[in-house]
Structure 1
Amino acid sequence: MIITIDTTTGTISLVKAYRAIAKFEQSLEITATGNLRPTIKFLGQVSGWLRDNGFNDATLSAAWQFWIIVNRLCVHSKDTIETDAEVAFWYGIDASKLSEIEKLGFIQNVDKLRCRKRIADGDFAKTDYEGVYYLYLTAFEDEQLAQKMKSKAFAAYVEEKTRKQGVKS
């Protein structure tokens, strides 16, 4: 990552920066989630690290901005990798070679694939008629099919309840 602090421009590894910041956060019990309140001591550690890496003019303000940027880049990177992994898992393709629009199209259909897989595997309660309805509707976007499967599930539900009552008497 290329950064400029005052008059100094240089390159810092995002991974190296992330590891250093995570170490400082952990030692001072500061996290990048929830209620953020970086302390002067923490920012001092970050600005010291920046100075150690060639940015001699690094101030506490610069350290704060650097911390925010590193966290945002890490969140974006994590989201990108999760998206790529999900596309690769469900579609068996290398998502890193796709455009953002192509990835979005694939990701928007993952719920359909998950539902279709559950149906194919029989991984759902056959008597949960409401659940069956939404499962089929999501999988196939076919209202008639979803209603038909809901009716079958309702019949199975009634049969199960009737059978249980028959056993009790």
Structure 2
Amino acid sequence: MALGKDYVKQDCSLARALEVVGERWTLLIVRDALYGVRRFGHFQAHLDIPRAVLSARLQALLDAGVLAKEGQDYVLTATGRELWPVVHTLARWGDRNFSDRGACRLFVHIGCGERIDTGGACPACGRVVPLEELEMHPGPGLDPNRDDPVSVALRGPHRLLDPILA
């Protein structure tokens, strides 16, 4: 018997959130959207995800108001951008506990050039840096052999949310 997608017996905001972002691939799609991925083909190539699964996850994110469709592009809504601290914190947790090569991506405050800490704060400014003021740089754990268009585009510095033009 297949597992359900909802937590009807759970009276909990975390359960409600997991109904939206808890399925396999969903947070990786959100992560890529934060990185500037907007096109179906780019999500598919970068994630190496089956087309049917990607279609279903994108539709679920559209239905939940996490993504919006603008022409052929999938763009994060304000609700979707609110997931940045979750994605960042979970990735840093993964770096500390499950990576033997280090972080794949480093995040720098554009205003002063300092790397943000695990909580998203800039040590120089002493404040949590808004998503729009962050630039991503390759880290020591990045796989240099990935040759899909998104991986190639993200080998250098890239401002978060700026579209990947590949």
**TM-score between both structures, scaled by the size of structure 2:** 0.22
Which has the larger share of helix?
1
Which has the larger share of strand?
2
The structure with higher relative contact order (CA 8 Å, sep 6+) is 2
